[in-house]
Copies of this chain bind each other. A is one copy, B any other.
């Protein structure tokens, strides 16, 4: 099982269509493979310059720690000193806000999607729309 470019493009196009349907701010969406390497990316017109870096840091952070950034953001609130040192130790490859979501197929992590541009909740909602359309994360995690 590995993440194809076709699946990554479905995730991105659906996430962006969902963003437009709910009038989200302009977004950047990145899809990484299981090793954290970029498969596909799109930045909507008007999205600001850091959106790529933040979206990628969300996706990479989820992969690196093995949890969605919604979970990591909660943990970081309770132990900020540790998580800030992690942020530097991993070269900034983590961002503590919802919107970084692991991509699972039959229980195996095959990549991650990261979105930045609107609130963390909105970013994550668009990511989940993309994952559903591509047929991933159908099982409810324990």
CB–CB B54/A43 < 8 A: no
Do A85 and B96 contact each other (CB < 8 Å), given the known contacts A35-B33, A48-B64?
yes
Chain A residue total in the interface (Cβ 8 A) = 54
Instruction: Give A81 to B53 CA distance when docked, in angstroms.
Output: 17
A133 contacts the other chain (CB 8 A): no
Interfacial residues of chain A within 45-103, with CB under 8 A of chain B in the complex: 45, 48-50, 52-54, 56-57, 61, 63-66, 73, 76-77, 79-97
Interfacial residues of chain A within 1-30, with CB under 8 A of chain B in the complex: 2, 4-5, 8-9
CB–CB A89/B41 < 8 A: no
Q: Please indicate which of the listed interface residues A76, A80, A90, A120 has the most CB atoms of chain B within 10 Å of its own CB.
A: A90
A57 cross-chain contacts in B, Cβ below 8 A: 85-86, 89
Closest 7 CB pairs of A and B: A35-B35, A48-B66, A50-B64, A88-B92, A41-B41, A57-B89, A89-B92
**Beyond A34-B34, A54-B86, 18 additional pairs, beta carbon < 8 A:** A4-B45, A5-B43, A34-B35, A38-B52, A40-B41, A41-B42, A49-B63, A50-B93, A53-B90, A61-B85, A73-B82, A76-B81, A81-B84, A85-B94, A85-B95, A85-B97, A88-B92, A90-B92
